[in-house]
Chain A
């Protein structure tokens, strides 16, 4: 029992430490969309659970190889422990409960980040991805451009498609990505929350120029956006 108490104490210490580190280290990029906020909350929970499980296993492992190391002259065997039904049930059922809870929470967040905003009309942007460039069409304004300009705090629905091979639409600050697939239309909803300049990256290998398939993204105040729209050729 002495070993178990020391181990429990060490695990408690190490996992607390790791959780604190994971919560405070800035592991993800700037949050620049409402969707990114929801995703980051989920990340934080996943990292904390990971920290605890990692601590349990690592501390047990290191403790064992230090404390239960064979003495040089000892050729004997350890105790013939073949198993422990209660312990085995515990480490089957608790992880089961954790993953079920995570799956439910994950499903709720997914519903949240894919739902259309009901309060405001959505700005529609049709995105065509081609080897190796992006094109953005704003049907509500009748313009098409090669850079993405959006008003801050307005919900946007992207309708994506690929014109040749599969590409993928990803702005890391917005977190969620979606493939642009030839022959079909995929949908991605983003509400940008932070004025600034970002970069759209193609995240699906699409051939020679894949690494360089970027497009500039600007999130601006509503008035600036309308001015920008006016300045675009129809």
Chain B
């Protein structure tokens, strides 16, 4: 029992429940004091959720370091003596621990959100309502969207957290305590999302457009609060990433010697820092409209419906690049290693990330071509949107040129990276008709869009993440994932993906609207929907293979050496798994990150454990 109570997460949950309960009691007391009915689900649960989150963090010990500091009692931290597994269940400040916490949380959310959508996919595999009600359909679809996006944000933070300090030769993130806090606000957010369904769900999709979201069931409020917390995590995380990248690079690591993944992390962090506040604000405004009756969007009281969409997409389009840029960075890391060639056009690929981020910041209006925005706005947004294709093209062409004349090894990480390239390419190309106003007016809000953005997210996040896991798992654990299961996983997932999403392009063109629980049997959309459902279950099967591979390999995978893929970047010059403090002394960076093919080219000199990189320098 004492062991259980000494775990940070257990203390956090107890504190969270207790403080949430007290807060609910106080709100109810105040309400009855004001002569209002004591129980009103919105205000009571809303305050309880926020206070409970703070209580959870306090019980966990998230604020201890700052409290001690404020009280003038700074103390040395000692956690090296605890058994390894325990650190994952408490407020641990090591970036590698936090990365794994992020990734595991991300995968758990993906499983839940995936199951939600499998149920919905089953429902629409044929016309007619067969298994669930339209309300359940809408809630599952909406939660699938917002939970998957949350999972992607968590996954991205996980990858950046693990790789960036190692790749730039740093011992940890710039602000380790802030880093742990960024992670630990997300479990309460996940809990709120899980509670949303029993609290009535909501029927607005993840986009939460008012006036619909202002009148949606209580589940809506949980979703808005949850994403508000995830927003905090994003902003705090991005401050950390930016400071780390600018201030913690090893000697010799000029910006143009950074691995491409670090460039994509940099671009991602800039977007997160600038834009997250807008969705937080938009969601907060809906919350205030729901809870306090303030008027921002309600048209009958002088509010503006379109305003929300501007605020929402001002974040949510750049967010797409937050989701995919690190994945594109992973592709750029994996290709040179398995093609045994330098990344083609390194500088262009590095800068293209910033180009995509900058361009992507001014395209949000393309989601609103049919929304009733001013006519004069539609053409400029069309132009900016299409221009983003240029830096994206630079990436894809450079990847292909990297493969050209290489000595290609088709190991699982590369297989996933190749699928990612093809899928992302199709996602990019099919975005063009969405970017051009007249054709968008046909396919907007149809399955075309569903197919398009699932291509960009699978191509920019899911498949690259799989490549990343197969690539870096040996580094994280000292063991290989099983290569045969890996190839099977790759094959099933690739086939399943195309079976699911290619039919959706046709469906969208031919009248299949988004977010419908049912469709007219006379439209002839049934067969293609059935195909898509079969594909969806293949993807689920592939994920099952993946998780089995993860668990079994963790336990009895073949032992991996420090640098099994003969990569030149810094993380591979350390033991597998890396030591707690990463580098015993700052490494010295002496060359480009992908110097393959040039005899004697090395990226960095790393001191052996306990030594120094360069005595006397």
Binding site for B on A (CB under 8 A): 3, 27-29, 38-39, 42-43, 46, 49-50, 53-54, 57-58, 60-61, 64-65, 68-70, 74, 76-84, 87-88, 91-92, 95-96, 99-100, 102-103, 106-107, 109-110, 113-114, 164-166, 168, 170, 172, 175-179, 181-184, 186, 199, 201-212, 214
A201 x B513 contact (CB < 8 A): yes
B426 within 8 Å of A by Cβ? yes
Bound form: Cα–Cα A114–B379 in Å: 13
- Interface residue tally of chain B, by bracket? 35 or more
**A157–B83 CA distance with the chains assembled, in angstroms:** 72
Known contacts: A205-B204, A211-B517. The answer to whether A177 contacts B441 by CB under 8 A is yes
Contacts of A96 in B (CB 8 A): 387, 390
Q: Which residues of A contact B418 (CB under 8 A)?
A: 61, 65
Question: Which residues from chain B contact A43 at a C-beta distance below 8 Å?
Answer: 433, 439, 442
Q: CA separation between A100 and B372, bound complex, in Å?
A: 25
Task: Determine the distance from Cα of A206 to Cα of B340 in the docked complex, in whole angstroms.
Answer: 53
Contact pattern, B 353-397, Cβ under 8 Å of A = 1, otherwise 0: 000000000000000001110010011001100110110011011
A54 close to B441 (CB less than 8 A): no
Say how far B288's CB is from chain A's closest CB, in angstroms: 19
Q: Is the CB of B432 within 8 A of A46?
A: yes
Q: Are A80 and B371 in contact (CB under 8 A)?
A: no
Interchain nearest-CB distance for B280 vs A (Å): 22
B contact set with A: CB distance below 8 Å:
134-135, 138, 203-205, 209, 211-212, 215-216, 299-300, 303-306, 339-342, 344-348, 370-372, 375, 378-379, 382-383, 386-387, 389-390, 393-394, 396-398, 400-401, 403-410, 418, 421-422, 425-426, 429-430, 432-433, 436-439, 441-442, 444-446, 506, 509-511, 513-520, 523, 592, 595-598, 601
CA distance A206 to B203 in the complex (A): 8
> How far, in angstroms, from A186 to B372 measured CA to CA in the complex?
6
Please determine whether B509 and A38 come into contact, CB atoms closer than 8 angstroms.
no
Query: With A and B bound together, what is the CA distance between A99 and B433 in angstroms?
Result: 11
CA distance A107 to B597 in the complex (A): 48
Docked-complex contact B441 and A175, CB < 8 angstroms:
yes
- C-alpha spacing A8/B60, complex, angstroms: 61
- Which 6 residue pairs are nearest across A and B when measured between Cβ atoms? A183-B299, A80-B597, A211-B516, A99-B386, A106-B436, A176-B441
21 A–B contacts, CB within 8 A, in A order: A39-B441, A50-B430, A53-B425, A60-B400, A60-B404, A61-B421, A68-B403, A70-B409, A78-B341, A78-B406, A81-B341, A81-B597, A113-B438, A168-B370, A176-B441, A201-B511, A201-B513, A203-B513, A205-B514, A207-B138, A211-B516
Asked whether, in the complex, the Cβ of A205 is within 8 Å of the Cβ of B205, the reply is: yes
Contacts A54-B426, A61-B421, A78-B407 known; A182 to B300 CB distance under 8 Å? yes
Evaluate whether A68 and B406 lie within 8 angstroms (CB atoms) in the complex, with A92-B394, A95-B390 already known.
Answer: yes
Contact indicator B406/A64 (Cβ below 8 Å): yes
A3 to B506, alpha carbons, bound, how many Å? Answer: 36
By a CB distance below 8 angstroms, the chain B residues around A204 are 445
| Contact assessment for A83 and B344 in the assembled complex, using a CB-CB cutoff below 8 Å | yes
Indicate if the CB atoms of A207 and B400 lie closer than 8 Å: no
A209 touches B134 (CB 8 A): yes
